Structure 1
Amino acid sequence: MSAQASSSQSVTTQPTAHGQGSSAPPTSLRPTKSASGFEFPAMWSFPPFFTLQPNPQTLAHQLLLWRNLLLEWARHERVFEVNVDSAGKDVLGVFENKGIGRRLLPPSVKTLMSELVKNGEAAPDPPKQDTHYLIYWRKPEEWGDIIYHWVMENGLNASIMTFWEITDGDLSETTEFRQLSVSILRKALESLVKRNRAQIFEGKGEAGEGVRFF
């Protein structure tokens, strides 16, 4: 039985009643390119992909596919945060394929985000809740290294810089960390503090917080 024969087929090869395997997704599916140029894999156009499967082995593989897809998409779109309960136009594009009328529902997104957290690819923000997450297509330590290299390369370690100057100032306009989430920026800078490469100074409001690099 082919994967096209039933919408309830799983996202991986499953045995049929006759012991034969069926492929998923159907070979007729092709990658889909978004308006921004991101190429979604063929699996994203396979309706069962948007329903978490009950079989533990199948589910583990499905979540791995979703993890990789979400991280690649977030990197391309420069998305730093995920709100599980988003609705309507606020639903992240990766979680909804309007072409096939399918969406990864909030309970499934929570399960997915839990997997990313387990693998160090996301973190609840604030902690101890399960609706809002930071997504780490780069780990905070990596962002810290990139920012530190930029600071030293441009001789910006002579004075205190505000958080805003780092992510939104004129000097950072062409950097990879442009408009980086403040929460991720703070974690990145804290990683530098632990390595004695920076000191954070409190200020009024997030834009007023400052940092000196050593």
Structure 2
Amino acid sequence: MVSDNKRELIEKLAGLRTKHIAVVLENIYQSHNASAVVRSCDCFGVQDVHVIADKKKYEVNREVAMGAGKWVTTHHYKNQNTESCLNQLKKEGYRIIATSPYADKTLKTLDLSQPVALVFGTEKDGLSQQAIDLADETIRIPMYGFTESFNISVSAALSLNTLRDRLMDSDIAWQLTDEELIDLKTEWCRNILYRGEDVYEEVLRNVLTDN
């Protein structure tokens, strides 16, 4: 059901995926910016995007995302607030990293020994005070011009590029576990197959019957 070429790509790229870095989007108002962040996550091999949308509906711009939604796992918090999302990530072992143009520390000095969740705020107002208060640390992207901040999607891409390079040059165990790899490859197959969820359920029933 999956072509040889696609299977080879799935095997290769799954091994490059990481959950050591996660991205959190807090009430992003412009769909093309949110979609561009998802696309960047796919390009940099970051698997999980957490979308807080208690004040603004999250929408995907398919032309911008370029199909990245099939490969990135998006966790939605439609009726939950920032606090519930960030506290859940803390329970999962993440340090919460707020992004602000006014912070003293930069991504180059960020401690990556523990998984990190980068939180990005709205284009107009930035992060909410609640997100800043819940953050374990606040970092900035160095800028040298008159404009106070980058576009949200540019900020995410620059951040992920820096952190991905640092992970690749480190001895940190950033790769997925064997169990996570199986789950991810299964998820990808469900996403790309016609009626993939039905196919998955049928295969699962057959496996259980055989056992």
TM range (shorter): under 0.3
Q: Higher relative contact order at CA 8 Å, sep ≥6: structure 1 or structure 2?
A: 2
TM-score (norm: length of structure 2): 0.25
Return the index of the structure with the highest Cα Rg: 1
